Every structure is written in C-alpha cells, then in structure tokens.
A = this chain, B = another copy of it.
Amino acid sequence: MAARNILFVMADQLRFDFLGCTGHPTIRTPTIDALARRGVRFANTFVQGAVCGPSRASFYTGRYVMSHGATYNNYPHRADEWGLGDYMRPLGLRTALAGKTHMKPDLAGLQRLGLDPAAGPGLLAAELGFEPWDRDDGLQRLAPYVPDTQYEAYLRSRGYQGVNLWHEAANSVRREDSADNSGWLMRNAVFPTVAAEEDSETAYMTRRAMDFIMAAGDTPWCLHLSYIKPHWPYVAPDPYHRKYARTDVLPGNRGEGEGEAHPVVDAFRQHPESIEFRRDECRDTVIPAYMGLIEQIDDHLARMIDFLDRRGLLDDTVIVFTSDHGDYLGDHGLGEKELYFEEALRIPLIVTDPSPEADVSRGMVVEDMVEAIDLIPTLIELMGGEPAWQRLEGRSLAPYIRGHGPDGWRDAVFAEHDYSLRHARLTLGLEPGETRSWMVRTPRWKYVHHARFRPELYDLASDPLEQQDLGGDSGHASVCDDMELRLMQWMSERKSRVGQTDDIIRNSTGKAWERGYRFGIW
C-alpha cells in the first residue's frame, strides 16, 4: 500500500550522536533504531540555524533563514510564508500540530491584511500552516505566568497543585531536603519530576497525537508530533531520572583552550550556561537526565508505533524522526546551542516510507549532506505532489528513499545565526543589525562569515572535532576567499521571487510581441 499519512516526529535539542543507531555506546533507543532499519537514515543532516525558532521555521517552510526571516526565537514569521500544511492540505492531508513549534506570527502584518490570528485563514497563517490540535511550546510563559495550554489544564485535572503547573509539576523535582526544587537548577537533574511519568510532557503529547489520529478517522493526515524534550529544564520523570549514570557520560570535546579564540565564540563562552557546563560536575549531573529523557521519547514512540500497527496504519504512514538542533553539553566550552559546531548543527534524520517503492532502501545510511529544508520537498514528492520550487529552497530526498540516489548532489550546506537577543551582543558591543553570521560547510571545510569580525574556518579533514580555528591564519586566505564566493553565490540565489514559477517564465520568455507589446519595430 502506498503511504497516505505522515507522522513527523521532532525531538527538541537532541544531538545527532545521542541515539543507538548514530553510535552512542550506552543509550537505549531501540524504537528509533528500528525505524532506521525500516527506513533511511541520513547520517549528515544539518539544520539551517542551531536555535529552535529559526531552525523550525526552516523545517516548516522549506526555506533558509535569510528567506523566511524568523532569525531567532519569537522573531515573527511573515503572514505569507507558506508552511508544511499549505503544501500538504492541497494533497488531501489534514495537517496538524501536537506539541511545539516556537513560531510567532507577525501580528502587524496580519492586522494589515484584516486577518484574525485566532480563526480561519489568519489562524493557519499565524501557525505557519498547522492546525493547532494541541500546541505547547513548553517553557514557562512570560512572567507573570498566564496558563494558556491544554497541558496545563490537564495537569490541573490530574490534581497537581500550584500556580504554574508546567514549572511546579512537570519541571520541578521531588526532593525532601531542599525547597529549591526547580528544574531550572541543573543540580536538580538527579531527582525525578514532581509529575508522574504518565503526566510528563512526553507522555501527554504522545497521547494527544493518538487522539488526533483517531479524530482524523479516514481522512489522510500529516501530524507533527513535536516533543519539547530533551530540551532543558533537564529533569526527567521517574524512572527515567535514574536510567543513566555518570559512567554513561562520554568525555567532552574540549577544544576551548586551543588556538586563538574567535571573539563571538569567546562571548558565548562567557554565558552562564557555558561556564556551568565546563564543570564536570554539571555534565555528570545533567547528561544522564538528558539521556533518560531521550529513552523516554523512544519508549513513547514504541507505544505510538504499536498504536498505528493495531489500527492498521503502520503500512500507510511515512514516519520522520528528527530534531531541531543539538546541545553542546559542555563541548567546545559551551552550553546550550547556537553558533555552528557539529554538536549543535548536526541532527538525526530518519525517514521510514512503508511504500513498496521504498523497499530498495530499507536500512540504508546516506552519507551525503542533507539540510532540514529538504524535508518538505521530500514529503511532497512521497505524497505524489509537485514541489513549489519558486519558494522551496531544499532538495527532495525521495530519490534516496525510493531509488538509488539522485544524479548529483549538493557539495555544501548553509546555515545562519542571529544572536541579537543574546548577552553576547552586549559583550561585543554590537547593534541589533550587526549580530548575524553565515556558514558554508563542505565535506572538507566549515567557514563562518561574521558581520563584524574575522571569519572562522575549520578543516574537518584534519580536525573533525573543530578544535583549531584557522580563520585568522593567513596561510588559509585562499580557502577563505573561495568560501566567501560560495556564500555570495548562495545569498544571490535566495528565493525572493516567490510569485513566479520557472514554467511561467519558460512559457513567456521573448513573447512580449505575441502579447501585444510590439516595441522595437521601425
């Protein structure tokens, strides 16, 4: 049977190397590993920006960050950016969201168009094309707290007491010895959450995804099941808080002392999360909880797959498993994400297509470089549609999934960063318009152009851990020049000409006279 539904699963802040199938020696992710055996795993997949908001906007629009413009968390996306749902709905798929998107609409833009962000086309535009079945971005809302999620109401119905139940139940811990039980405190990562496992964010959202699938009935669907974890607060419910120990923590990638520190990297190393994560005690406390949260997701995916199987949906549902970016966890002397090191930029990506045409590729591992923006054209093609190339900037992975790969492939991937909202901007004394950077990564080189500083350059062949920044080295000037030209070429190719298709152009070129414009005749 050909696929008719899509389950698009995203974990948040999950590093590429924290799965069994991607090589972690002790983590237990049998369900995700089985998906990889049934489908195709893209081993070199990169996000377009290593921050939730811009990365997701690229996933959901199929466009680079420069093109969609949502360059940081809560930087609004334009009212007329097309999202995944806008492409899936015309193919007959009801497209909904269970979980996080971190997207915020441009309210002034919607108002100018007379659109209501809470209803009708305005709502879909505000949600970047998703029907918000159960949207929950996680995170405590802006202080003061205003409960506004279905999950919050659920926790209350379960009898949890407090003001902000997201924080006090799901993201605080049970410890008798201290009143400081907030999950924000990383030292609390060894304790279980106040909320029981069945009431955790991961468990709740998995059930809500099942609710949607049942509600969809016979209508084909595309569901974005978007987990908030293992994103911080790094606290897991019992028993996942005690599944892993210090012995599961691998040595860090400590390159922070070597070579001349780039000013922007250095400014990020001064952030509190970087300072803490450079301490072994912090890593040894947090990473086991981080791993427990990943195993928990794997267990719930097992339930979801069983659910699909029992309802006869497993054989007609494409399953995607990925993440929006990684987490430094102390590597490079950094905490959190952002910048461009592999630990933040590289993500897992597995696509499992039940269609018979995909039998040729089951269990395949693709080493070619893939970008997050490739997902939308891939899904459109798997569902039999024609990608809107006047807007979409990625490439379809369908030839890898249903064949033996495309004829020719990209030799570089691109990403961007805008740290205008981070303390690093103040450290560096920059204006909000001066905080952007752009990366090109080839199989050999990673190059970063900074608006106000010298570039970064890493030789991935001789220095795969990116511990030696060659961007200030005059011996690599010609490599830098070449990379700069690639960035310039790439920038010049961004798709702002979104209203005109190449087909229209091909059919109209040089035909002005036929349309009655008879200029140039003596």
Choose one: B76, B80, B275, B425; the contact of A109 (CB below 8 Å). Answer: B80
Q: What's the minimum C-beta distance from A293 to chain B, rounded to whole angstroms?
A: 15
**Contact present for B509 and A182 (CB under 8 Å):** no
Chain B residues with CB under 8 Å of A475's CB are none
- Taking A66-B496, A502-B433, A506-B432 as contacts, is the C-beta distance between A517 and B140 under 8 angstroms? yes
Whether a CB of chain B sits under 8 angstroms from the CB of A515 is yes
**Contact present for B271 and A520 (CB under 8 Å):** yes
Q: What's the minimum C-beta distance from A135 to chain B, rounded to whole angstroms?
A: 18
Choose one: B86, B105, B433, B499; the contact of A77 (CB below 8 Å). Answer: B499
**Contact present for A509 and B425 (CB under 8 Å):** yes
**Contact present for A143 and B78 (CB under 8 Å):** no
Whether a CB of chain B sits under 8 angstroms from the CB of A407 is no
1/0 per position for A501-517, CB-CB distance to B under 8 A?
01001101110101111
Chain B residues with CB under 8 Å of A68's CB are 496
Chain B residues with CB under 8 Å of A70's CB are 497, 499
A376 to B77, CA, bound (A): 23
**Contact present for B493 and A433 (CB under 8 Å):** yes
Q: Which residue of B lies closest to A140 (CB)?
A: B516
Chain B residues with CB under 8 Å of A433's CB are 493, 502
- Taking A69-B496, A80-B78 as contacts, is the C-beta distance between A139 and B517 under 8 angstroms? yes
Chain B residues with CB under 8 Å of A516's CB are 139-143, 145, 167
Whether a CB of chain B sits under 8 angstroms from the CB of A519 is yes
**Contact present for A431 and B502 (CB under 8 Å):** yes
Chain B residues with CB under 8 Å of A461's CB are none
Q: Which residue of B lies closest to A418 (CB)?
A: B497
A16 to B301, CA, bound (A): 67
- Taking A488-B484, A520-B271 as contacts, is the C-beta distance between A515 and B418 under 8 angstroms? no
Chain B residues with CB under 8 Å of A510's CB are 421-423, 425-426
Q: What's the minimum C-beta distance from A417 to chain B, rounded to whole angstroms?
A: 12
Whether a CB of chain B sits under 8 angstroms from the CB of A153 is no
Chain B residues with CB under 8 Å of A184's CB are 518-519, 521
Among the interface residues A431, A508, A519, which one has the most CB atoms of the partner chain B within 10 A?
A519
Chain A, 81-117, CB within 8 A of any chain B CB = 82, 86, 104-106, 108-109, 112-115
Q: Which residue of B lies closest to A273 (CB)?
A: B520
Whether a CB of chain B sits under 8 angstroms from the CB of A336 is yes
Whether a CB of chain B sits under 8 angstroms from the CB of A317 is no
**Contact present for B114 and A86 (CB under 8 Å):** no
A125 to B517, CA, bound (A): 27
**How many copies of this kind of chain does the complex include?**
2
**Contact present for A522 and B106 (CB under 8 Å):** no
Chain A, 145-183, CB within 8 A of any chain B CB = 145, 167, 182
Q: What's the minimum C-beta distance from A123 to chain B, rounded to whole angstroms?
A: 10
Whether a CB of chain B sits under 8 angstroms from the CB of A262 is no
**Contact present for B76 and A79 (CB under 8 Å):** no
1/0 per position for A271-285, CB-CB distance to B under 8 A?
111111001001000
- Taking A75-B497, A519-B336, A522-B187 as contacts, is the C-beta distance between A492 and B492 under 8 angstroms? no
Whether a CB of chain B sits under 8 angstroms from the CB of A449 is yes
Chain B residues with CB under 8 Å of A122's CB are 113-114
Chain A, 392-421, CB within 8 A of any chain B CB = 418, 420-421
Chain B residues with CB under 8 Å of A191's CB are none
Whether a CB of chain B sits under 8 angstroms from the CB of A71 is yes
Chain B residues with CB under 8 Å of A271's CB are 520
- Taking A142-B515, A492-B436, A509-B422 as contacts, is the C-beta distance between A497 and B80 under 8 angstroms? no
A508 to B108, CA, bound (A): 19
**Contact present for A276 and B521 (CB under 8 Å):** yes
Whether a CB of chain B sits under 8 angstroms from the CB of A335 is yes
1/0 per position for A24-36, CB-CB distance to B under 8 A?
0000000000000
1/0 per position for A440-456, CB-CB distance to B under 8 A?
00000000010100000
**Contact present for B186 and A498 (CB under 8 Å):** no
Q: What's the minimum C-beta distance from A509 to chain B, rounded to whole angstroms?
A: 5
Chain B residues with CB under 8 Å of A272's CB are 520-521
Q: Which residue of B lies closest to A503 (CB)?
A: B432
Known: A80-B106, A115-B121, A276-B522. 12 other contacts (CB 8 A): A80-B109, A113-B125, A115-B115, A142-B515, A184-B519, A272-B520, A335-B520, A421-B509, A421-B510, A423-B510, A425-B509, A449-B492
23 contacts between A and B (CB under 8 A): A66-B494, A70-B499, A71-B496, A71-B497, A78-B80, A79-B80, A79-B113, A80-B112, A113-B122, A142-B515, A184-B521, A185-B521, A186-B522, A187-B522, A272-B520, A282-B522, A421-B512, A422-B509, A425-B510, A426-B509, A426-B510, A436-B492, A451-B492
Sorted from nearest, which 7 A-B pairs have the closest CB atoms? A76-B499, A273-B520, A69-B496, A114-B121, A423-B510, A106-B499, A272-B520
